[in-house]
Amino acid sequence: MKIVLATGNQHKTAELRAVLAGEGLRAVELVSLADLGRDFPEPAEIGATFAENARIKATAYAALTGFHCLADDSGLEIDALEGRPGVISSHYCTQGLETGMARGERDERNNRRVMHELEGVPLDRRAARFVCEMALASPEGRVLATSRGTMEGRIGTPDRVPRGAHGFGYDPLFLVAPDFASTSAELEPKAKNALSHRGEAARRMAAELRRITAV
C-alpha cells in the first residue's frame, strides 16, 4: 500500500516517517506530497476540531492524488486560555488566516502572542497539551482509520522559556510533564518521538495499518 503523508511541513513528515518506520510496516510505502512531483490545492480546514480537520485533509488529498492518504491535524491547547490556540494553532497570530507569512516568522509571532496572553499567570496554572488527530482515507473518499495522541505539559514562564534548538512551533515554550524540566525543543528527535502527541497517534495508526494491510 502506497500512502501519501498529507503535509507540506517537512518537520512533520520527518517525525511521521521516523515513528512509522520504527513500527516495521513492511507492507506500507510512505511518500510525501512533494515526492509526487506536482502541486496540489490545499483543502479548506473548516473543522471545529482537530479530528474534523484531519478527516477533511485525508479525504481531499486522497481524491486529488489517487492514493491512500494519511493526514494529521495537531496543535496546542492551553487551559488558562480556554483551550486556545486550538485548531488555529499554526496561524494563531493571524486569527487562523493564511497570509503567506514564512513559517519561522509565523512561529515566532504565535509564540509571542501566547506568552503575552499568559502574562502574569503562574507556572502551576499554565497547564497545556499538544494534541494530534490522524485520519487515513482511501482514494474513494472513505475514512478507514483514525487515531489520537496527546502530550501533557505546561507553558513556561518568561524566565524559563523559550529554550531548545530542536522541534518547531510552540516546542520552545512547552515544558514536558511530569517533571517540567525540559522543553519539547530540548528533546532529541528519538526521545521526542517516544513522548510526543504525534508519536503516540502514529503508533496507534500503525496498529490500524497492520490490521488493514493484513486483510
User: Catalytic residues, which ones?
Assistant: 73
- The pLDDT tens digits for 15-51 are 778 887 778 777 788 888 888 888 899 898 899 999 9
What domain range is 64 assigned to? 2-214
CA distances from 187 to 23, 107, 123, 208 (A): 21, 18, 20, 28
Q: What percent of the chain has pLDDT over 70?
A: 100
Q: What pLDDT score was predicted for residue 7?
A: 80
Cell of 188: 532529541
- The pLDDT tens digits for 49-105 are 999 999 999 999 999 999 999 999 999 999 999 999 999 999 999 999 988 899 899
Domain CATH for 109: 3.90.950.10
Report whether pLDDT(197) > 70. yes
Q: Which residues pair with 2 in a beta bridge?
A: 29
- The pLDDT tens digits for 104-159 are 999 999 999 999 999 999 999 999 999 999 999 999 999 999 999 999 999 999 99
CA distances from 94 to 44, 53, 77, 84, 98 (A): 16, 18, 17, 13, 7
- What's the structural domain count of the chain? 1
pTM for the model: 0.91
User: Of 90, 78, 82, 15, nearest to 53 (Cα)?
Assistant: 90
Rounded distance between C-alpha atoms, residue 203 and residue 46, angstroms: 26
- The pLDDT tens digits for 176-188 are 999 999 999 999 9
Cell 494529521 belongs to which residue? 72
Torsion angles phi and psi, residue 51, rounded to 5: -60, -45
